[in-house]
Amino acid sequence: MSKRDYYEILGVSVESQDGEIKRAYRKLAFEYHPDRNPGDDEAESKFKEAAEAYEVLRDSEKRTRYDRFGHEGMNGGGGGFQSSEDIFGAFGDIFGDIFGFSQGRGGQRMQAGSDLRYNLTVSFRDAAKGTEVELTLPVTEPCEECDGSGSAPGTSPETCSQCGGRGAVEQNQGFFRISVPCPSCNGRGQVITNPCSECRGAGYVRKEKNLNVRIPAGVDNGSRLRLRGEGEAGLNGGPHGDLYVVINVQPDKVFRRQGQDLVLSTEISFVQAALGYKMSVQTLDEPVDMDIPKGTQSGEVFQLRGLGLPYLGSSHNGNLLIEVKVKTPTNISRKQEELLEQFAALEEDKPMKKVKKLFKKAKNKVMGD
Ligand SMILES: [Zn+2]
Ligand SMILES: [Zn+2]
């Protein structure tokens, strides 16, 4: 019998994204799950077929190989589950999602570790330039005393009498007859009669661990860094969860952030605005000189290219925007006043131009400019 196309098996298109493929697979896995179709060989083979297709399509490397070479490309590299147990081993997380638990080898309850979230506050400059921090995390690790079994050394757990070691019991739920974790042994299939004194039978202990985390330059408030496998330990061979570091960036006294652009507000005198002025501008590194041109208006924004924040995973930077506010003097000397009056007198020589300009401004305001 020739093999069916993996995309066809899952009922997805070649362009499908990971999420869609996962959803399609979950649906099929639920439908053809052996627990729901006891003794149905066709359901079981469909279940295996779907699992094989999913195993390839969820992995970008295998998927690319399959797209290019078809089933031929898969020989020797993945695909082909021998038993349902292999499937449970490979996709414990999905079955955990569907059935609330999953079976590990030997009837032991396999469980993926929990994801952890760590809220990390970093300074504006550290977020801009990147930094490395050491986090102290609470973690559960397998107990060393009992090697994670939960039984006191030298003793072993007994087979659960309620489920006969299966770890699951059948239950009617609506139309379905499904397996649920055995309430007597919590799905372990075994009961600990002599609990380990170190972990009191849990099989794991709470500890703290230190982890160095590199914070990439350019992270923003609310950025999430995912550290695969740094979450809590799984149970009975289940995979570790992930660690999510959620970044909180403190505000800065000098800069504001607008995407990857930095904004800096600065005040200049009306004389500097009128005559032009060379000013020194703070940046994330060394200050730079910038020319404020003659006739600069209050609120004008100047741009220094590339002096903003780096775009994550790219060598490009945003810009530094300098927002100029023109300050009107409030406390001027008699001499300055005289000079300004002379200046005003000169201005009055060209009244028409001034009125026109004012009119234009007012009109722009009304138009919402
Ligand atoms: Zn222990
Ligand atoms: Zn049991």
Task: Tell how far the Cα of 17 is from the centroid of ligand 2, in angstroms.
Answer: 39
Could you give phi then psi for residue 65, rounded to 5 degrees? -65, -40
Centre of ligand 2 to C-alpha 191, Å, is 7
Ligand 2 centre distance from Cα of residue 306 (Å): 64
pLDDT at 322 over 50: yes
pLDDT (average), residues 298-318: 91
Question: 242: CA distance to ligand 1 center in Å?
Answer: 24
Rounded Cα–Cα distance for residues 277 and 294 (Å): 7
In sequence order, the β-bridge partners of residue 190 are 159
Q: How far is the CA of 169 from the centre of ligand 2 (A)?
A: 8
Domain architecture of the chain: domains with CATH: 1-100 (1.10.287.110), 255-331 (2.60.260.20)
Q: Which ligand has the nearest atom to the CA of 190?
A: 2
Handedness of CA 213, 218, 221, 223 (dihedral sign): negative
Q: Ligand 1 center to residue 308 CA distance, Å? A: 53
Beta carbons within 8 Å of 75's beta carbon, 6+ residues apart: none
Say how far apart CA 340 and CA 344 lie, in whole Å: 6
Phi-psi region at 94: left, alpha or beta (left = phi > 0; alpha = psi -120 to 50): alpha
C-alpha 186 to ligand 1 mean position (Å): 17
DSSP calls for 246-276: EEEEPP-SSEEEETTEEEEEEEEEHHHHHH-
287 C-alpha vs ligand 1 centroid, how far in Å?
59
Contact 324, 298 (CB under 8 A): yes
Q: Which two tokens stand for residue 181?
A: 């974790």
Residue where the block lists tokens 């992270």: 219
Looking at residue 214, its amino acid is: R
| Pairwise CA distance, residues 187 & 96, whole Å | 12
153 Cα–ligand 1 center, Å: 8
Least distant ligand from the CA of 163: 2
Q: What are the pLDDT digits (tens) for 173-216?
A: 777 778 888 888 888 788 888 999 998 888 888 888 899 999 99
Average pLDDT over residues 351-356: 50
Give the whole-angstrom CA distance, residue 355 versus residue 369: 19
**What's the average model confidence in pLDDT over 303-332?**
91
Q: Is 232 left (phi over 0), alpha (psi -120 to 50) or beta?
A: beta
Cα–Cα distance, 362 to 226 (Å, whole number): 52
User: How far is residue 209's CA from residue 127's CA, in Å, rounded to a whole number?
Assistant: 24
CA distance 137 to 119: 11
Is the Cα dihedral 365, 366, 368, 369 positive or negative?
negative
- In tens, the pLDDT along 30-68 reads 888 877 777 788 888 888 888 889 988 888 888 888 887
What is the 314 CA–ligand 2 centroid distance (Å)? 54
